[in-house]
C-alpha cells in the first residue's frame, strides 16, 4: 500500500547516519536513482524520486557521473530526498580523475547541504592514475572524508570480482583496506545468483570484513539490459533469467513482469537469510519499487 509522506519544504532536518540503521531488526530496503542525462531532465528525476520515497525505503542513494557533468545535481537531488522528502539519502562520489580543487569544492558542497552519507567509488576513468588524480583510490578518499567531517561512508564490492588480473583473495585484501580506512558499509555490484553472494559474504567475513554488506539487485525489465550488463559488469546470468529474456523480451509488459518477479525471488531469499540490506538499482523507474513493495514489502519491515 502506497503511503505518501508529508513533505515540509521549509525545514532543514539533521541527516540520519545510515550506519545507525543496521540494527539487525530487519533486512533494510533501499533504492538507487541517477541524476539527469540526455534522456531525463532534472524535473523528471525529481518526480521519479518523489514517487519512490512514497514506498518508504529505509534510504535512497543518488549516483554520480564520473565525468563530473552531473555531480552538482547529485548533491542537489540527495539534499531534496533527505531534507525535503524525508528519506535519508546517500550521495555518490567517484575519485576518478578528480583534482584537489574539485574535491575540496565537493566537500564544501556536501557540508553546506548537510549531507552526511556518501558512497565513495574508485570510478572507471583512465584518468584516475594520471596527472589530474588527487586521490587515485577509493580507500584514499575514505580517509579524506573521515578526516574532514562526521560522514558515514560506503564503498562498492564485487561478488564476482572486478579486476580479471586479481584473485578473489587479492580483491578481498583490497576491500579490507577500504574498511580499515573507515568505510562503514559496503554495497555489491549487481548479481543474479544468490549463491554467488553468499559465497562472497562468507569469504568477506572470514577476511575480517565485518561491516554491513548490502546486496545490489537489478530487475531486468527489458531485453537490452542483458547485453549492457554482460558488457559492463560481467555478472553471470542464470539460465532461468536468459530463458525469460528469450521468451518475453519482445513483449514489454511480460518482460517487466518476468524481470521483477525474478528479482523478487532473489530478494525474498536474501531477506529470509537475514542479510543486512537489499539495494535496488531502479534505473529511475518508479514502477519497479512500486511493484516490489506491493508484492513483498512486508519482508523488509
At 15 the pLDDT is 64
Instruction: Return the C-alpha cell found at 82.
Output: 533527505
Whole-model pTM? 0.90
Share of the chain above pLDDT 70, in %: 88
The C-alpha angle with vertex 14 and arms to 9 and 18, in degrees rounded to 5, equals 115
Domain segments of the chain: what residues? Answer: 24-299
- Note the pLDDT tens digit of each residue in 101-147: 888 898 999 999 999 999 998 865 444 444 445 777 889 999 999 99
Closest CA to 93 of 48, 59, 144: 144
Alpha helices, H only, the chain:
42-53, 71-79, 100-112, 138-146, 168-181, 194-206, 224-232, 239-248, 252-272, 287-296
Instruction: Return the C-alpha cell found at 132.
Output: 589530474
Closest CA to 217 of 290, 293, 280, 300: 280
C-alpha distances in Å from residue 139, one per residue of 182, 186, 206, 231: 8, 12, 20, 26
* Residues that are catalytic: 32
Q: Whole-number mean pLDDT of the chain?
A: 88
Instruction: Return the C-alpha cell found at 286.
Output: 518508479
Strand spans (E) along 218-274: none
CATH architecture of 24-299: Alpha-Beta Barrel (3.20)
Rounded to an integer, what distance in angstroms lies between the CA atom of residue 273 and that of residue 27? 9
Closest CA to 257 of 286, 226, 219: 219
pLDDT at residue 4 tops 60: no
Closest CA to 106 of 148, 137, 136: 148
At 137 the pLDDT is 85
Helix (H) or strand (E) holding 198: helix 194-206
Q: What is the DSSP string of 25-54?
A: SS-EEEEEE----SS--HHHHHHHHHHHHT
pLDDT at residue 71 tops 80: no
Amino acid at each position: 500500500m502506497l503511503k505518501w509522506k508529508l513533505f515540509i519544504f521549509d525545514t532543514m532536518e539533521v541527516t540520519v547516519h545510515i550506519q545507525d540503521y543496521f540494527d539487525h531488526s530487519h533486512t533494510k530496503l533501499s533504492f538507487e536513482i541517477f541524476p539527469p542525462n540526455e534522456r531525463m531532465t532534472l524535473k523528471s528525476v525529481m518526480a521519479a524520486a518523489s514517487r519512490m520515497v512514497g514506498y518508504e525505503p529505509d534510504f535512497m542513494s543518488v549516483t554520480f557521473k564520473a565525468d563530473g557533468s552531473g555531480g552538482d545535481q547529485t548533491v542537489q537531488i540527495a539534499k531534496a530526498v533527505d531534507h525535503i522528502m524525508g528519506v535519508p539519502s546517500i550521495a555518490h562520489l567517484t575519485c576518478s580523475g578528480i583534482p584537489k580543487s574539485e574535491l575540496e569544492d565537493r566537500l564544501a558542497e556536501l557540508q553546506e547541504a548537510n549531507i552526511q552519507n556518501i558512497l565513495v567509488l574508485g570510478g572507471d576513468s583512465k584518468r584516475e592514475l594520471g596527472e589530474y588524480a588527487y586521490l587515485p583510490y577509493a580507500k584514499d578518499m575514505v580517509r579524506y572524508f573521515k578526516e574532514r567531517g562526521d560522514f558515514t561512508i560506503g564503498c562498492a564490492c564485487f561478488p564476482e570480482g572486478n579486476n580479471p588480473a586479481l584473485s578473489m583473495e587479492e580483491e578481498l585484501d583490497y576491500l579490507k583496506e577500504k574498511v580499515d580506512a573507515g568505510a562503514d558499509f559496503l554495497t555489491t555490484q549487481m548479481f543474479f545468483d544468490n549463491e554467488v553472494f553468499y559465497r562472497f559474504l562468507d569469504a568477506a567475513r572470514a577476511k575480517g570484513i565485518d561491516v554491513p554488506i548490502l546486496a545490489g539487485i537489478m530487475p531486468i525489465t527489458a531485453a537490452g539490459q542483458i547485453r549492457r550488463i554482460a558488457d559492463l559488469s560481467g555478472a553471470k546470468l542464470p539460465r532461468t533469467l536468459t530463458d525469460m529474456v528469450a521468451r518475453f523480451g519482445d513483449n514489454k509488459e511480460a518482460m517487466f513482469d518476468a524481470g521483477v518477479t525474478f528479482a523478487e525471488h532473489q530478494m525474498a531469499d536474501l531477506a529470509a537469510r537475514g542479510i543486512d540490506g537489499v539495494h535496488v538499482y531502479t534505473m529511475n523507474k518508479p514502477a519497479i519499487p512500486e511493484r516490489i513493495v506491493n508484492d513483498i514489502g512486508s519482508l523488509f519491515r
